[in-house]
Chains A and B, each alone.
Chain A
């Protein structure tokens, strides 16, 4: 097998939302990654049964530990363990980094049109964090769709990053319920929202769209209909549930 399974040690676990945890892993033998890449995580039960899922890396390159931000899927085989039972000091098996297609570094330039549905923000967060770590001023717009305000991941960090005045803009929209003091958008991502928030096709942005399959396909189709070039629209579909399969 050409890419080895590595043993990673959990060095930190942080709650992002009631359903989402960020797990920091020290991975001896890790060769570095690009923003947008993922790892395969493999769990082995005492009887030998194995379950394997892919998780996007949330941290930028160059940090001593890699961060996976994982949403718990109630009917999942792996995410309930990762978000509920895993403890600091535990070891898990992973392999990676994987997937060179859905990646971005500052060398690729911009502008960037980043669109996330729920935990689809995770690989885009690695790109945004990398951009900030490199002190890049490449124009970048991040549009995030969430069900409720309680589901928003990285809210404070994204607000801080957007306040740096370095040409990053962050927009949130809530699709189910919004608190009374919510001043953002309150609808699914539609044509008007894409026009309002993202750079137009004339700016020749590269779009990265990540989330549940129906959302990703809706956004990608809308971007094409608005005149964006299909070859500049990169998609990462999570499948029907919103979790990685």
Chain B
């Protein structure tokens, strides 16, 4: 579940995915807090570690680097996986 070796230098912040998150959730999400399902760390979505780009991305916990959520582009839209988060609000 951890970032692969060499991925560190590609890391950005969840804040940079604001546009993509807005497409999926329809509201501003980077200031919302989420609780990591792996280590229970509470972070703003904007403070998660972001890997990927405009075609899709993975957001990882800044504490344990477990995948919190991912966004994938498909023809006609995007879908989101939230298996790494227990609470968003």
Contacts and interface: CB of A to CB of B under 8 A. Distances in A.
B46 A2 contact: no
Interface stretch (A141-149, A183-191, A231-239): A231-239
Interface of B is mostly: helix
Contact of B13 (A214, A237, A240): A237
B12 A237 contact: yes
Interface in A135-153: none
Given A38-B16, A101-B14, A101-B47, 20 more contacts: A2-B23, A2-B25, A53-B54, A98-B18, A98-B19, A98-B22, A98-B28, A99-B16, A101-B15, A101-B18, A101-B30, A102-B13, A102-B30, A213-B12, A235-B13, A237-B11, A237-B12, A239-B12, A244-B16, A245-B12
B54 A100 contact: no
B31 interface: yes
Interface of B: 8-16, 18-19, 22-23, 25-28, 30-31, 44-47, 53-54
A225 interface: no
A240 B51 CA distance: 12
A-B complex: 3 closest residue pairs judged by Cβ atoms: A101-B46, A99-B18, A101-B30
A230 to B, nearest CB: 9
Contacts of A239: 10-12
Nearest to A235: B13
A236 B15 contact: yes
Main secondary structure of the interface of A (DSSP, over half): mixed
Given A3-B22, A236-B16, A244-B16, A99 B46 contact: yes
Nearest to A238: B12
Interface in A209-245: 213-214, 217, 234-240, 244-245
A45 interface: no
7 contacts: A1-B23, A99-B15, A101-B13, A102-B13, A102-B30, A213-B8, A237-B16
Contacts of A60: none
Nearest to B31: A100
Contacts of B8: 213
A40 interface: yes
A217 B11 CA distance: 10
A217 B9 CA distance: 10
Contacts of A244: 16
A101 B10 contact: no
A245 B9 CA distance: 13
A236 B26 contact: no
A52 interface: yes
Contacts of A213: 8-12
Contact of A101 (B11, B23, B45): B45
